[in-house]
Amino acid sequence: MILGLIADALVGGQSVVLRNVGTLETYVKTAQRYRHPATGEVRVASPKRHIRLILSQGIRKRLRRRSR
């Protein structure tokens, strides 16, 4: 139920704040050119929406402390 609400918010273009964890937000990755490996033909991948997690400061600090 909660994941459904989060998914609905992201699909609607809203950011979702998860306290003490971070923020989920969507962004559009621009169209990318790539070369087909078998034929060598240049193709263009259409723009796509992705989800980004921005970690909270508390988690970032804890990760930095553990890596030392």
CATH number of the domain that residue 48 is part of: 4.10.520.10
In this predicted structure, what is the pLDDT of residue 66? 76
Q: Read off the pLDDT of residues 6-34 as tens digits, 9 standing for 90 and up.
A: 999 999 999 999 999 999 999 999 999 99
pTM of this structure: 0.74
Task: Report the 10 Å Cβ neighbour count for 21.
Answer: 13
Residue 68's pLDDT band (cuts 50, 70, 90): low
DSSP classification of residue 37:
T
Q: Please answer whether residues 42 and 31 qualify as being in contact, where contact means their C-beta atoms are separated by less than 8 angstroms.
A: no
Show the tokens assigned to 40: 């060598």
Count of domains forming the chain: 1
Domain interval for residue 18: 2-67
